[in-house]
Amino acid sequence: MESATADSFTLVHRTDEVQVKQTLKLLAGYEGVLSVEVTNLTGQEQRHRMHVRSRVGLSGEESRYNIKRGLCRTTEDFEDEDNSDVEDGPVTYGEDPVLWGGVDNKYFGTLMVPTEPFGECVLSESDDGGFLVGSLSSNIATLDPNEVKRYELGLFVGAKELERLQDFSAVEPANEVHLEEAIDWGILGRLSEYLGRMLLSLMRFFYGWVGVWGWAIVLVTIVIKAVTLPLTLKQMNSMKAMKRIQPKIAIIKEIGRASCRERV
């Protein structure tokens, strides 16, 4: 059984023992909300655990500029694994409560944020090896007869823009989630992040001034060239000095070779 509108979709699955109602609602800014209601239809207690999954395709050219990753954020640390890390089997995080998880590539991500911390995050390859899969699992819940358990997860599906990740508001989780950790700033870590944020702010400043992103990029490039000009001039002077003494170096080398031939 299902129903749909322009910005939401509801799917209901029912058996003699349980009913599961799933509603996906789309919001602005790459955000959405997934709501799941589990109802115990029997006259006795039932235990269950909910699993939600996201995946990213592993097809296409792999490079250090476009690595596909699975992400897990616990209360203690942020973990990321690429497909080479899970080739030999799933990687599981669950010793600490899980705040969010998902999958991404260099520029886009699919992130899932439960309002209450989940119990486990598993990163793995799909059975056919075509996808990297991120799975979140709730803690085991026990439902009394006719009791309903409701889960709510905020979704972020789109470009990993810093401000959008920082301002994520699809749900109100119990803990701070810091989705901006999904941005890979490169091997220099904090230094790359600082420089990236500074250049991004500068580019937006120029965009607010000229109103065209192309010209904003040109102006940022000019600023970078101006800042690095002293170093560039110093390097050019060093190269000119090397060219001036190159003939003398060649003469010294020739004298050395001649001396070696005389000894022989």
Torsion sign over Cα 177, 178, 183, 184: negative
Query: How far is 208 from 56, CA to CA, in rounded Å?
Result: 35
Which is more confidently placed, 107 or 71?
A: 71
Q: pLDDT tens-digit profile of 191-222?
A: 666 677 777 778 878 888 888 878 888 888 88
Query: How far is 172 from 113, CA to CA, in rounded Å?
Result: 9
Q: If we measure between CA atoms, which residue out of 167, 193, 165 comes closest to residue 108? A: 165
Mean pLDDT value across residues 102-126:
95
> Are the C-beta atoms of 134 and 70 separated by less than 8 Å?
yes
Q: What is the largest CA-CA distance in the chain?
A: 106
DSSP assignment letter at 176? -
Lowest mean pLDDT across 47-56, 142-151, 232-241, 247-256: 247-256
Is pLDDT of 188 > 60?
Answer: no
Q: What percent of the chain has pLDDT over 90?
A: 54
Is pLDDT of 13 > 80?
Answer: yes
Q: If we measure between CA atoms, which residue out of 129, 120, 139 comes closest to residue 53? A: 120
Query: How far is 180 from 174, CA to CA, in rounded Å?
Result: 17
Which is more confidently placed, 249 or 137?
A: 137
pLDDT at residue 252, as a whole number: 73
Amino acid symbol at 246: Q
- Token duo for residue 181: 């950790």
First vs last Cα of the chain: how many Å apart?
Answer: 96
Provide the whole-model pTM.
0.75
pLDDT at residue 244, as a whole number: 79
Is pLDDT of 69 > 80?
Answer: yes
pLDDT at residue 66, as a whole number: 72
Q: pLDDT tens-digit profile of 160-173?
A: 988 899 999 999 99
Is pLDDT of 47 > 80?
Answer: yes
Query: How far is 74 from 95, CA to CA, in rounded Å?
Result: 9
Is pLDDT of 2 > 80?
Answer: no
Q: Cα-atom radius of gyration of the chain, to the nearest Å?
A: 28
Angle at 207 between CA 204 and CA 208, to 5 degrees: 90
DSSP assignment letter at 138? P
Going by pLDDT thresholds of 50, 70 and 90, the confidence category of residue 229 is confident
Where does 54-181 have alpha helices with state H? Answer: 162-166
Average pLDDT over all residues of the chain: 86
Give 102: exposed, middle or buried? Use CB within 10 Å, 0-12, 13-18, 19+: buried
pLDDT at residue 119, as a whole number: 96
Going by pLDDT thresholds of 50, 70 and 90, the confidence category of residue 258 is low
